[in-house]
A and B are shown apart, each in its own frame.
Chain A
Amino acid sequence: MNPSRVLSILVENRPGVLNRVASMIRRRGFNIDSLSVGPTEDESVSRMTITVHVGRQQAEQATKQLAKLIDVISIDDITGLRNVAHELLLIRMNAPLGQRTELLQVVNVFLGRIVDIASSSMIIEVTGTTEKIDNFVELMRPFGIKEVARSGAVALVRGDQARLSLLDLNGDAEAADRPGLVRVGGGADHTGDI
């Protein structure tokens, strides 16, 4: 299994952009773990954060294909960079009076909030990394989960740099130090196809 890669994409805020991005990812056969879209500080620009499960080479190809889309302004593979990648969880828990105290102890450890409460259930909100959310959901399981909604990750790079530079079109995909020819993919056999 390949690790998750986080792509941070700035796109023109226009109708159909999400369709173009999703369509490109589908057409090239990349699997999306999560995708989130939202406005940015500039109302003409939206940010998409896409988490994909692909290898480095495939991520590079995905990045370049997405960069080619006319509505994509910039795209950065921020995997491995110092970044904050958080998602939002809303979870409706079975919460009869008898087990609320115990439940709230776990919620407090995860710095969660109760955002809705009813006679036998409550909705809890937790934000954080995907791993943290996964852990929280596991801990909730014994109490009885009724419903889960997760936002998918949104991410920014840490530090003073507000925006990363554009994709370095001239520096990618080279095997300068590798001897011989590096071939991509498993050498799929297409010969003889019409």
Chain B
Amino acid sequence: MIGSQPRTAAPAQPRKTPETSPPRRLTGAQICLESLIREGVDTIFGYPGGANLWIYRRLPEYPQLRHVLVRHEQGAAHAADGYARSKRGSVGVCFATSGPGALNLVTGLGTAYADSVPVVAITGQVAVAAIGTDSFQESDVIGSTMSVVKHSYLVTRVEDIAPTIKEAFHVARSGRPGPVVIDFPKDLQAAVSEFNYPEEPVRMRSFPSPPAPDPAKLARIAELIKHAKRPVMLIGRGVLISRAEEEVMELAHRAHIPVGWTLLGTGAFPLQDPLALQMVGFMGAGYTNKAVCDADVLMMVGMRCDDRVTTRLDSFAPRVEHLVHIDIDPAEIGKSVVPHVSVVADARTALRQLLPMVEPKREHEWLTQIDQWKEEHPVRYVAKKGILQPQEVLEEMYARCQDEAIVIADVGNNQIWSALWFNYAKPGLFLNSGGMGTMGYAFPASMGVKLANPDRTVFCVTGDGGFLMNMQEMATMVENQIDVKVLILNNSSLGMVRQFQDDFYDGVQSAVQLTCTPDFAKLGEAFGMKAMRTSRREDVGPMLDEALAHRGPVLMAFDIDPVANVYPIVPLGKGMLDFVEAG
């Protein structure tokens, strides 16, 4: 059942307990669930097991908490990620038991960590007295997850549960968001304590609020923009997290600055805008790379500038005279390139304060140059008669439900095609695992996306390899009738790896052919999904229409050109301008 219950409480101001009667005595499990409700949680993805059964014992007492039983804990972590990513301001929640259950979350937590997604994972743990004795299904959850979480807590006293949950949500959603683990021993789930949810806001001396932007630096940036001859702005996921899309748009148009984006920044700036560049970097558009390499003032906003953006580091932005970097995480400033001016702040706050300082600027020759590069280096593909190209499928998909649907792509060639062909004007409608690059992410995550956005169409684009990694979640999807339209771009191989082997590893194909590819239509039907399959161009549109007309999850398998490649691409070890184009 897909509910659309409103969130029960605003996260910043928890409601007061309705009655003023003396505090209730509750079990740790009840305290945990009540605390989640106070934090505005309405959906939990989880899997029960020996060490969290007291939580599941109490769960039916809270019908306002919708629990979605996944079929593998990795799916729970990804679904919680998809929920939080697609409903900005919310925190995704997942449950797992101790030992293997908790360890199965690790990839999902790492995925959320790499992309700064607020997720709270509550793991069952063996009883306090048994910790450290190698008891049944015991694992060191804190140790195992340490490098892929923003923070973690081991609860050791029942009185600590409520304050720990409150602090965990605060840490997950504040500053640069990220996943937080709460390891919750099973004896404490059954122990009884008074329930007092802390009313006052969390204050942590070791986790201060992000600093306010320095006005002097903003003034300097405004000055640099004023004198820039060849300005370029690059934006990342930080712009989406802080909802700074309008500010980016206003700044771009006021000073006529072309805007490019990272993979995770896709969907923060409309491709149709005359100032829009495209994705930058390793598989970015040629004209974006050209613009970055010719820029005199380069502004990076809400992004890390990782190796996928820079390609070979010494080829990145060689003509830049003034590099400006705005990011909320000071550790990202100067990590790969050292800016001339840096502002550590929330992107929206910084841009809002910057805007009044920026003088309107007339259009300049630079934009004419960029338009010329756009004509010379279009992002394109070559159609082949009788062989379905993935971009043909995506063009049909993007032509439907424009600005209404949310598109979530998996990892590999399907991801890059989906990003480069994405063309919605409204922000925040494209999601993917950009940082960790977790194959198998999109399908379980799409369940979270749909449950967080019941009124939107959700398209999940995946390859056959990635789909097989978490296909068990078909059961979850059907059981809960989570209405996702799944598009499998099936090339019966690991397309991106195969492309790399062909082009950069001496053409030796090794372990990339998935010769046993299931008939996805039959597979979907076996789980009770509406499922279809085609290899013909003319079937694509009607199949999508049929899928959209159907209420409930649909699996569509498109047997595409097995040698379809991603273009443009910067070959191994080459620089930004060495991109190879289609054709």
Chain A interface (Cβ < 8 Å from any Cβ of B) = 11-12, 15-16, 19-20, 23-24, 27, 57, 60-61, 64-65, 67-68, 70-73, 166-167, 169-170, 172-176, 178-185, 187-192, 194
Contact = CB atoms under 8 A, between A and B. Distances in A.
30 contacts: A11-B206, A12-B206, A19-B143, A20-B146, A57-B334, A64-B333, A68-B330, A70-B150, A73-B206, A167-B330, A169-B211, A170-B217, A170-B330, A172-B333, A173-B333, A173-B342, A174-B338, A174-B340, A178-B340, A181-B318, A181-B323, A182-B337, A183-B316, A183-B336, A183-B337, A190-B308, A191-B571, A191-B574, A192-B500, A192-B504
Contacts of B321: 179-180
B482 interface: no
A185 B207 contact: no
Contacts of A170: 211, 214, 217, 330, 342-344
Contact of A174 (B308, B311, B342): B342
B135 interface: no
Contacts of A57: 334
Contacts of A188: 307, 313
A194 B566 CA distance: 13
Contacts of A185: 313, 336
Given A170-B344, A189-B312, A194-B500, A70 B151 contact: yes
Interface of B: 142-143, 146-147, 150-151, 154, 171, 204-208, 211, 214, 217, 282, 307-308, 311-314, 316-318, 320-321, 323, 329-331, 333-344, 437, 496-497, 500, 504, 570-574
Contacts of B329: 68
A47 B245 CA distance: 42
Contacts of A24: 147
A184 B336 contact: yes
B340 A175 contact: yes
Contacts of B217: 170
Nearest to A184: B336
Nearest to B345: A170
A80 B496 CA distance: 49
A191 B146 contact: no
Contacts of B330: 64, 67-68, 167, 169-170, 172-173
Contacts of B320: 180-181
A167 B504 CA distance: 44
Contacts of A61: 331, 334-335
Given A185-B336, A187-B314, A192-B573, A68 B331 contact: yes
A11 B335 CA distance: 24
Nearest to B315: A187
B312 A60 contact: no
A167 B143 CA distance: 27
Contacts of A11: 206
B91 to A, nearest CB: 16
Contacts of A16: 142, 154
Contacts of A189: 312, 572-573
B262 to A, nearest CB: 15
A16 B143 CA distance: 9
Contact of B307 (A166, A169, A191): A191
A190 B307 contact: yes
Contact of B437 (A67, A176, A182, A194): A194
Contacts of B208: 166
Nearest to B344: A169
Contacts of A72: 206
Top 4 A-B residue pairs of the complex, sorted by shortest distance between their CB atoms: A173-B334, A192-B572, A190-B307, A187-B313
A27 B147 contact: yes
A15 B132 CA distance: 14
Contacts of A68: 329-331
A191 B515 CA distance: 28
A190 B340 CA distance: 25
B22 to A, nearest CB: 30
Contact of B338 (A67, A73, A184, A190): A184
Given A19-B146, A169-B330, A192-B573, A184 B206 contact: no
A8 to B, nearest CB: 15
B85 to A, nearest CB: 21
A27 B151 CA distance: 16
A20 B335 CA distance: 21
Nearest to A174: B342
Contacts of B437: 194
Contact of B207 (A20, A70, A169): A70
B573 A181 contact: no
B520 to A, nearest CB: 24
Contacts of A183: 313-314, 316, 336-338
B341 A187 contact: no
A15 B140 CA distance: 14
A122 to B, nearest CB: 39
